[in-house]
Structure 1
Amino acid sequence: MTQVSAETAARAVLDTAGRRAGIDVAKAELMRLGENALYRLPNRIIARIARSGQLAAAAREVAVARWLEASGVDAVRVLPDVAQPVDVDGRAVTWWQELPPHREGTALQVATALRRLHDLPPPTGFNIGRLDPFVRLAERIDRAVTLSEADRAWMRAHLSDLAVRYAALPETLPESVVHGDAWIGNVVSAGNRVVFLDLERCSVGPPEWDLTSTAVKTFTLAGISVEDYAVFVRAYGYDVTAWAGFEVLRDIREFRMTCMAAQVAAENPARHDEIVLRLACLRGERGSRPWLWTPVP
């Protein structure tokens, strides 16, 4: 599906969902078309349209948002008094309250927010699920049509190897609720609030999974400084890079980012060079970390 046809399809889904929910979407503006389609509506409403097959994940995300609000953990908030998600031909549409102007969280803010999240007891009113670090990766590989079959075969083999390594992880910190995708863009500073975004992968799992995101941002991508990483470690109280299982989670995180680039390239072939670069890095063909990867939507 091309970028234009993907936008047309998302708009059609939004129109149907708006009619069913009783929400006027006539003046909706597309904010982003990536893993999810995001639209801004009047009255500070955000509509989020997931890809097909994500109804259960969307329902859990709404439940997580309500639970976090009740628990006193600041996160993006669902629009109240609206039945969610709306199912439009297998695509989930959810409705959210727009945040005020915000920016990426600092290392200190991310660490503090994660510490508070990880200290919460798991919810009892719904099944939050267990962490699946490989969710949707096989699907993204299958759809990576800009890659050769040899490249996709390598990715499938690498995925299998990572699954074996993950199953043999050494002892972790006590399991907790984890955000699931806790890089600095998903923990933002909005005035005096530090807010979690993108709650669809919240689940129960090893806290190290969330901590690895900031380590990867530092040591794989050079996106934050080593000094900022030290602030993160002090604030949280644990250095995941010193843990024996760190390289396993790091490698899975890097592979998830690579599979996302493959998905983006399949829909926008102009981004093909980025997936080629990332695969070369994973194969050891571009030297040691850090690597200069260009963000994809």
Structure 2
Amino acid sequence: MAEILKTACGQLGIDATDAEVLWQGENTIYRLPGSVVVRIARVGQHEAAAREIHVARWLAENGVATVEALPLEQPLLVESRPVTFWKELPPHRPGTPVETATILRQLHDLPVPDARSFGRLAPFVRLRERLSTATALIPDDREWLLRHLASLEGRWADGLPAGLSETAVHGDLWSGNLAVSDDGMVRLLDLERFSIGRPEWDLVSTAIKYTSFNMIGENDYHAFVDTYGFDVTEWPGYPLLRDIRELRMMSYLAQLATEQTRFTSEAQLRADCLRGRRGPRPWTWTASP
């Protein structure tokens, strides 16, 4: 990744000396001197990276605080990897359930943009690829998970029950994808799954922290619901979106475990839970990077 960083920075005349690795997960993120953050995405994610730049600028224009893309033509493509450049955030912490609900309400209340600019919600993106190549999983589990995926795709294709009207959706909004600075400003992070779709999808990420994993308590969840104004767990479509989100979380660990063996036990735990080997929800999953 260091050579990709050096090449991308060189194309823009930016000094990559003393770059610091901030994160290595789905993306590799570097900090450069001068409060610049560089994000290197995986091969094949050019469209998602370009949408992220477009979304960040659209949100800023509409008064929603988010990460700020540097004013240059991007993303760059280096060795088939999209590279984007951002202004470094001030010191910050993750969001609370109430802060999450507040910015979701603000986002979902915006005028709905043209879906041709942002794309439509695609809850299964990359799932089949991740599971099919997850050699860290035993074959029987991998085959079961692929069948489970096919079942969920079929249920999704049948259509969701009546509910909230379509809005702009973040696509992966949980507390870790919010940055709350010392002055109380709440900013959205990780915009690559931003799209147009049913807002219930954005609410599920917090709901499963309560119903599936017991990561937040009853009081925190009720505060989230009261702030947003809708309890997605009481909506008939919740089980389907919950199941899709859980499979997404499982498939990400399967990808990590295939690349780094230290994640193998957590990937197996998640497979066991989905297959019913660890009893009913709530389960205890270790947060992924």
| Aligned position for 2:190 | 198
| Aligned position for 1:56 | 47
Separation in 1, partners of 2:163, 2:96? 25
1:15 and 1:25 in contact (8 A); partners too: yes
Separation in 2, partners of 1:217, 1:76? 25
User: Is 1:290 the equivalent of 2:282?
Assistant: yes
2:166 and 2:196 in contact (8 A); partners too: yes
2:172 and 2:205 in contact (8 A); partners too: yes
Equivalent AA in structure 1 for residue 109 of structure 2: D
Q: Output aligned runs, 1:202-213, within 5 Å.
A: 202-213=194-205
| Aligned position for 1:45 | 36
TM-score, length basis structure 2: 0.97
Separation in 2, partners of 1:220, 1:11? 39
Q: Which aligned runs of 4 or more in structure 1 are off by greater than 6 angstroms?
A: none
Secondary structure of the corresponding residue to residue 127 of structure 1? helix
Separation in 1, partners of 2:167, 2:13? 37
Change (3 A) 1:57 1:149: same
Residue by residue, what CA displacement relative to the aligned partner does 1:108-147 show, whole Å, maximum 9, x if unpaired?
Answer: 1100100000011133596100000000011111221111
Separation in 2, partners of 1:178, 1:211? 10
- Structure 1 residue 180: Cα displacement: 0.1
Task: From 132, 137, 140, give the equivalent of 2:127.
Answer: 137
Structure 2 stretches of 5 or more lacking a match?
A: none
- Structure 1 residue 44: Cα displacement: 0.9
TM-score, length basis structure 1: 0.94
User: Is 1:17 the equivalent of 2:43?
Assistant: no
1:36 and 1:49 in contact (8 A); partners too: yes
Secondary structure of the corresponding residue to residue 77 of structure 2? strand
1:28 and 1:41 in contact (8 A); partners too: yes
Secondary structure of the corresponding residue to residue 31 of structure 1? strand
2:171 and 2:193 in contact (8 A); partners too: yes
2:132 and 2:146 in contact (8 A); partners too: no
Q: Output aligned runs, 1:96-107, within 5 Å.
A: 96-107=86-97
User: Is 1:262 the equivalent of 2:262?
Assistant: no
Secondary structure of the corresponding residue to residue 238 of structure 1? coil
Task: From 143, 146, 153, give the equivalent of 2:143.
Answer: 153
Separation in 2, partners of 1:131, 1:29? 34
Separation in 2, partners of 1:159, 1:208? 20
Equivalent AA in structure 2 for residue 256 of structure 1: R
| Aligned position for 1:281 | 273
- Structure 1 residue 217: Cα displacement: 1.2
Task: From 113, 122, 131, give the equivalent of 2:112.
Answer: 122
| Aligned position for 1:108 | 98
Residue by residue, what CA displacement relative to the aligned partner does 1:65-115 show, whole Å, maximum 9, x if unpaired?
Answer: 0000111000111112x2110101211000011111111111111001000
Task: From 62, 67, 70, give the equivalent of 1:79.
Answer: 70
- Structure 1 residue 149: Cα displacement: 2.0
Equivalent AA in structure 2 for residue 205 of structure 1: G
Separation in 1, partners of 2:279, 2:169? 32
User: Is 1:165 the equivalent of 2:181?
Assistant: no
Q: Output aligned runs, 1:204-223, within 5 Å.
A: 204-223=196-215
Give the root-mean-square deviation of aligned CA atoms: 1.2
Number of positions where the alignment pairs a residue of Structure 1 with one of Structure 2: 287
Equivalent AA in structure 2 for residue 29 of structure 1: E
Separation in 2, partners of 1:98, 1:143? 34
Separation in 2, partners of 1:208, 1:242? 11
Separation in 2, partners of 1:16, 1:86? 10
1:67 and 1:123 in contact (8 A); partners too: no
Higher deviation after alignment, 45-54 or 216-225: 216-225
Equivalent AA in structure 2 for residue 162 of structure 1: L
